[in-house]
Amino acid sequence: MALTRARDVPNETDPFHHGTGDWLDPITGKMTFPESHFNLLDSRVKVTCFEEIFETVASSVQEKIGRMRIMKVGAKRCYLYHADDEYRYHLAVVTNPSAFVVFEDSLPILIPTDGRL
């Protein structure tokens, strides 16, 4: 579920999906808008913990925040191994001791639910 949207894209019928990958070019497989365009917090999540997280991260990092999403991975499931073109920060809301993130050239990492990125 997308929590941010791009300023230069017309209103969507389903804005919660606006920043979740729907903007891939079918030929190149690349985003038609750079991550940095997805920097407008959706008005429906303002005055929530998501706005606080967005503002806290934005004021703590040098990079401009792009897409902010809520993602869920079911039990005994995983995302495909892939490389991101830009910086990513991961914040676990709920996890379990067997859920890991694997980064290239590193051991698997458990992202704790203590508010750290």
Q: What is the pLDDT of residues 60-79, one digit of tens each?
A: 888 777 888 888 888 888 87
Question: Nearest CA to 8 among 45, 44, 34?
Answer: 34
Domain presence at residue 9 = yes
- Residue 88: its pLDDT value, please? 78
Domain presence at residue 116 = no
- Residue 52: its pLDDT value, please? 92
Domain presence at residue 50 = yes
Domain presence at residue 20 = yes
Question: Nearest CA to 46 among 95, 4, 88, 96?
Answer: 4
What's the mean pLDDT when you consider all of the chain?
80
Q: Angle at CA 109, nearest 5°, toward 84 and 82?
A: 25
Within 10 Å of residue 110's Cβ, how many Cβ atoms? 13
- Residue 51: its pLDDT value, please? 93
Domain housing 49: 4-60
Q: What is the pLDDT of residues 43-55, one digit of tens each?
A: 888 899 999 988 9
* Distance separating alpha carbons of residues 79 and 89, to the nearest angstrom: 16
- Residue 86: its pLDDT value, please? 74
What does pTM read for this prediction?
A: 0.71
Report how many domains make up the chain.
Answer: 1
Mean pLDDT throughout 10-26? Answer: 67
